[in-house]
Structure 1
């Protein structure tokens, strides 16, 4: 998106937010008012003291050209048409300059010079028109005195000043362009900030949706499965087994409530550094914790995946290997962040490790890691060694 040659924004930008207001104000009010005022005063003066037909002709033509530069939709004119219109205004004003010195009409050539500086995008064209207008005004002044023998009422060098307002016009234009560019940058910055806010909100919604899916989806589907089983067992007259299925459903519901609370807690921990969050989880589960490498910035999605994996791995370790020692290692390197959760197998006398289960937690952790471009391994520490390891690797 670029600023137009008259210091305004292209079509399609909301008017309330569009830059270039000062330039539009000058184009739409100040210039027409000035040219209109000079034109009306000149015509009144001509009516009171009628000049020659030559002066009348140049005056009417110069007034028409001046009003055209202010009334015609400037943005819709091609570049050559703009140059032509301003050139005609400047030439007619310069020719009129020595013919009506006792009226306000000579001011038109000064307005034409300022218009060339402010309205034309090409600096070369503006100064060329102003220079040519100055030459025409000087020649017309000489001709009016030497050829037409009109009374010389002002110094001859005054005609050389008609091009001076082009500098004022250029200064106004460059200031208007700078303000328009600044307003445009601010407008684009607001749009970008609003877009980033929308993206952040959508990203946060997606993250919360994944949390709900991973926690509540798993818990509710397991509860529904147990209740369906209880209904089928009850229909077969196996009331004891049906009651056991209902108890398992209740246990799953209670576990799901706990998982949901942990997930909500994890969502609220985004403002804490990741090592502190994992350390809190480890302390709450009487697990060991170690950080290796230099902690640094980690994506929110990656940090959340690490938190959820730590919670799931600790829960599984306590569920399937009661009494086992659990240790967490958070390892940073230049490209990856690793979470390694290990347990030593069961430490309760006579108890056996139990790794049976639906596996939905592991599936959810693998899907989360895959979405972030990482990997997750869960399995025995070694084929003949008791214990279990969950290893998550994610790009930073």
Structure 2
């Protein structure tokens, strides 16, 4: 016999925040017991008012068995019952109802066999079992009806009427398919909600990791450099080299100022995530009086990739202004099928009287190179290809 699909679900219904649909629960908990109870009460009242004249004990016996089996199929925890128990209950319900159909036609008892046919289609997982039980019940009903007619029992009915007891089987099958469809839809909805919640949690974790990398790249390197300079100043001061110690303190202050600026730019970059990447890079270039050119067809990129491009552009522009004051800086953002490439070039020091700033710690490009490696990309920082003068920073990341 086929396995009952409901066996995989808890007996009490779904366990998460989405309860089972109300139509199926209403049908199981109210409609079926109400119909069984109504037929049972009417049958017993009619038997009490007009007791069977012939073979009364047999008529009473089968009617009571049919009522008991029908009540059992409605009130027992069906999903917890073994498969053979379910089949047995429906078979007894059908057989007792088939006999009552012919022996108690002047009561509500004939309705029990029709209800048994519906129950077989709705409650049994195996269609083969349902059709077998209902087919046997139809044959039994026709046989008992023929015997009752042969014995000239009162209220016999036409022979063909007993063949209709199998028709409600299709009603039961339709109800079962509808209940299964509702259960599948409910399960799909709950799985969709769980998937959406999982995606939201994953996005939140990615965002937290991205912010953590920003803090590490900006503040971590700056604070490490400050700590090194202050330790050096303390050692120089202890050695009586006050002038060198003061110079170390000044370098630490310069690192602090630079770190504050980098922090502000990082915050600005985090807030710029809602803008398209080309527009964000264009704004950074415009704010730094640098040139900007877009090449290729822009498209969607991952948030962490966009953030790495933004941070590299900021760091490269800062380094160019610091080490090559007065130089012309140009940014090229290039989209390809597989890569996104940012190239930042400067022309070298254009103002002969300008003095390069040597206060940088050199940790910015180190952090950018580490970030590019984590994303599966590369970062090149070095002299431009001859004969072009100046410096080039090139970041390549997979899209």
Q: Same fold (TM over 0.5)?
A: yes
Partner of 2:5: 5
Pairing 1:130–2:134 present: yes
Aligned to 1:334: 337
- Work out which of the residue numbers 63, 67, 72 in structure 2 matches 1:68: 72
Residues of 1 paired with 2:351 and 2:236: CA distance?
Answer: 34
**In structure 2, what is the Cα distance between the partners aligned to 1:358 and 1:364?**
11
Q: Which residue number corresponds to residue 366 of structure 1?
A: 369
Per the alignment, residue 277 of structure 1 pairs with: 280
Aligned mates of 1:392, 1:180 — CA distance in 2 = 52
Q: For structure 1, which runs of at least 5 residues remain unmatched after alignment?
A: none
Q: 1:34 aligns to what? A: 35
What SS does the aligned partner of 1:162 have?
helix
- Which residue among 324, 346, 349 is the counterpart of 1:346? 349
Deviations 1:249-299 (A, max 9, x none): 222222111111111111111121111111111111111111111111211
SS in 2 for 1:382: coil
Q: For 1:109, which of 109, 113, 117 is the aligned residue?
A: 113
8 Å Cα contact 1:226/1:245 also seen in 2:
yes
- Within a 5 Å distance, the mapping from 1:258-297 to structure 2 comes to 258-297=261-300
Point out the more displaced range, 73-82 or 254-263: 73-82
Q: For the Cα contact (< 8 Å) 2:90–2:119, is it kept in 1?
A: yes
Residue in 1 that maps onto 2:398? 395
Does the 8 Å CA contact 2:347/2:390 hold for their aligned counterparts?
yes
Aligned residues: 393
The aligned counterpart of 1:186 is: 189
Shift of 1:44: 3.3
Cα pair 1:90 1:112 within 8 Å, conserved = yes
Measured on the aligned residues, the alpha-carbon RMSD in Å equals 2.4
How far apart, in 2, do the equivalents of 1:37 and 1:178 lie?
29
Find out whether 1:208 has 2:214 as its counterpart.
no
Q: Is the 8 A contact 2:255 2:361 kept in 1?
A: no
Do 2:149 and 2:156's aligned partners in 1 also have CA atoms closer than 8 Å?
Answer: no
Distance 1:310 1:76, change over 3 A: same
Which has the higher mean CA deviation after the structures are superposed, 26-35 or 369-378? Answer: 26-35
Between the aligned partners of 1:66 and 1:15, the Cα distance in structure 2 is 32
For residue 58 of structure 2, the aligned residue among 48, 54, 59 is 54
* 1:134-149 alignment, distance < 5 Å: 134-147=138-151, 149=152
Counterpart secondary structure, 2:15: coil
TM-score of the aligned structures, taking structure 1 as reference length: 0.91
The Cα shift of 1:337 comes to: 0.8
Q: CA deviation at 1:183?
A: 1.7
The corresponding residue for 1:177 is 180
Residue 9 of structure 1: how far off its partner (Å): 4.5
1:330 CA drift (Å): 0.8
- 1:132 is displaced (CA, Å) by 2.3
SS at match of 1:145: helix
- Consecutive unaligned residues in structure 2, runs of 5 or more: none
